[in-house]
Amino acid sequence: MKKVAIAGGGPTGVTIALMLVQRGIAVTLVEAASDFHRVFRGEGLMPSGLDALEEMGLSNILERIPHRQLNAWEFFLDKKSLFRVNEPIELDCQPCTLVSQPPLLEALILEAQKYNHFEFIQGVAVKDLLWINNRVAGMKLADGREIVADLVIGADGRNSVIRQRAGLKLERQPKSMDVLWFKLAASSLFTDENVFTAIGDGENAFAIFHGAEPGKLHLAWTLSGSQNITNNSDKTKIEWAQIFASISPSWLAEHFINYADSIEKPIKLSVVVGICPCWHTPGVLLLGDAAHPMSPIRAQGINVALRDVIVATNYLVPLLLVEEADNKAIDRVLSRIQKEREPEIIRIQQLQEEEGRQNKLFPKNIFLRKLVIRLAHLLSKAIRQSWIQRQHKMRRGVTQVKLEV
């Protein structure tokens, strides 16, 4: 039986592990963290991600874990609503759904553990790669163990050890922002109707919504290149509440002041966006953020990664099921996986960049911002339609992805 070693127990690593073991391929999955409750894990499943889970036969798992649909998107500029779009945006699509990753990952691991040819090593980091005759033949773990495998899959995120040890390069886009991620208590404002609410005043911007976790609002405060993280790190809960309230419409400002004590210490998310010119080397394949870290704009990371998994499964399973298949045949198919997935990744990153540029237009042009607010009743329909058009491919994907094995 052919064997695959996978580094990284996030959505990419866990789902590719499950797809392979379900089809009779031996898998060892290694996750450095001792549990899945990492400080930050993205929650947004767009229709493309929900479709991917359905293709993999995993939709029923969502019903067993905490999840919450978005009901709408609404955008405010200088405390005035520019436009609102209800979910689902397209009639034939599912609404964007927020899912709690830790229980999702735990449920997927339990499914994989039903198979005797699945091994899960948790709480041990991958230290290096095992090389034999100029080809990767496995992984070396921090505890001294060596995992021998016919193929190593790097699904270990934007700071991938597998990518670094394999000598694969990441071409990064210029850094445009970081994010401070807050949680605070929810209220009926968001539990009755979960609206992704984007707020801006020309200099400051944040987005707020109810996450999958009961009773918690998530707030993403954007730090542009001109804003200093140090100046923000020592602010008190009351100070943050006052800042949020100062640029919010009155109904939301009141919530921040009333629930100031519930604002948790923010987590700084250093945004890395880029793509590897080559996702593979003999014996190694990168998937998900290891190959192409995505911008946080419109929650694309988990969605495109799940689509990576489907394409990789289609190409790898027929080869790995053949005991006589040689390593050269496995290595040849890795470039075909990249070739199929790369156009969508490049286009989605372009769309994210376009969305980011649109968001920056108002802060740089005070006259335009005031004009838009004054003429909002005339312009909102056109701005709304432009926004909807940009969302289509980020929500549904650029290419057709179907599980064929």
Q: Give Cα separations from 208 to 165, 182, 186, 224 (angstroms).
A: 38, 9, 10, 18
Nearest 10 degrees: CA dihedral of 304, 309, 311, 312?
Answer: 140
Name the amino acid, one letter, at 134: N
Q: What's the pLDDT tens digit per position in 288-327?
A: 999 999 988 888 999 999 999 999 999 999 999 988 888 9
Give the list of residues 6+ apart from residue 331 with CB closer than 8 angstroms, or none. Answer: 135, 280, 282, 283
Report the SS3 class of residue 97: strand
pLDDT-derived band at 228 (thresholds 50, 70, 90) equals very low
- What is the spatial distance between Cα 325 and Cα 2, in angstroms, rounded to a whole number? 9
Fold of 3-38+103-173+273-358: FAD/NAD(P)-binding domain (3.50.50)
- What is the spatial distance between Cα 276 and Cα 290, in angstroms, rounded to a whole number? 8
pLDDT at res. 213: 84
pLDDT-derived band at 192 (thresholds 50, 70, 90) equals confident
**Helix runs in 234-326, H state only:** 237-246, 250-258, 301-320
- What is the spatial distance between Cα 121 and Cα 31, in angstroms, rounded to a whole number? 6
Sheet arrangement for strand 118-122: 118-122, 26-31, 3-7, 151-154, 284-286, 280-281
Q: What's the pLDDT tens digit per position in 120-168?
A: 999 999 999 999 999 999 999 999 999 999 999 999 999 999 999 999 9
pTM of the full structure: 0.91
Beta bridge partner(s), residue 268? 180
CB–CB of 22/115 below 8 Å? yes
Would you give the DSSP letter of residue 113? Answer: T
Q: What's the pLDDT tens digit per position in 11-34?
A: 999 999 999 999 999 999 999 998
Beta strand spans in 169-233 (E): 171-172, 177-185, 195-200, 205-210, 216-224
Would you give the DSSP letter of residue 300? Answer: -
Q: Give Cα separations from 240 to 74, 76, 229, 299 (angstroms).
A: 22, 19, 14, 24
For the cut 60, the answer to whether the pLDDT of residue 363 exceeds it is no
CB–CB of 320/20 below 8 Å? yes
- What is the spatial distance between Cα 11 and Cα 303, in angstroms, rounded to a whole number? 9
Q: What's the pLDDT tens digit per position in 258-288?
A: 999 999 999 888 888 999 999 999 999 999 9
Rg of the Cα trace of the chain?
Answer: 22
For the cut 90, the answer to whether the pLDDT of residue 380 exceeds it is no
Would you give the DSSP letter of residue 203? Answer: S
Query: What's phi and psi for 44, nearest 5 deg?
Result: -80, 120
